[in-house]
């Protein structure tokens, strides 16, 4: 039996603010919302160019934000150019680091999830 990878679920205290972050800075679009109750609220975002969707799920009151070891990594053609554009829109990425043949920089979304931009391409995108 095969399984396919379709979604990434992240938890947020403020679903709207977190969804807006991915729409504004990474070009995602809201494709559905389930707002049945405070604890069951989910907003689904899809990337403009295809790929896995993000499910923004309402975090429970006892959840500590930013404590999970996860990093959302976005491929960009030029890290420095993306950082300048993001800063103009209001998000600041940290220092640009050099890997083996690629560059990357990190930031946090409004829910303190780790976000990275990188010029490294996966073998799927090469």
pLDDT tens digit string along 78-119?
A: 999 999 999 999 999 999 998 878 899 999 999 888 888 988
Helix, strand, coil distribution of the chain in percent, nearest 5 = 20, 35, 45
In the structure, what pLDDT confidence band is assigned to residue 68 with cuts at 50, 70 and 90?
low
* β 71-75/97-98 pair status: unpaired
Q: What is the tally of structural domains in the chain?
A: 1
In a domain, residue 97? The reply is: yes
Query: What is the pTM (predicted TM-score) of this model?
Result: 0.70
Phi, psi angle pair for 21, to nearest 5°: -55, -50
In a domain, residue 111? The reply is: yes
In a domain, residue 123? The reply is: no
In a domain, residue 23? The reply is: yes
In a domain, residue 126? The reply is: no
Q: Which domain holds residue 83?
A: 7-118
In a domain, residue 56? The reply is: yes
């Amino acid at each position: 039996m095969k399984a396919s990878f379709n979604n990434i679920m992240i938890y947020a205290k403020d679903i709207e603010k977190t969804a807006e972050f991915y729409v504004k800075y990474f070009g995602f679009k809201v494709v559905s919302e389930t707002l049945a109750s405070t604890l069951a609220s989910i907003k689904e975002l899809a990337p403009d160019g295809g790929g896995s969707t993000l499910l923004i799920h309402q975090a429970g009151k006892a959840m500590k934000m930013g404590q999970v070891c996860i990093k959302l990594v976005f491929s960009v053609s030029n890290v420095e150019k993306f950082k300048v554009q993001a800063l103009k829109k209001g998000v600041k990425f940290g220092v640009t680091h050099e890997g083996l043949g690629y560059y990357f920089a990190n930031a946090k979304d409004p829910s303190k999830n780790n976000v990275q931009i990188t010029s490294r391409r996966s073998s799927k995108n090469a």
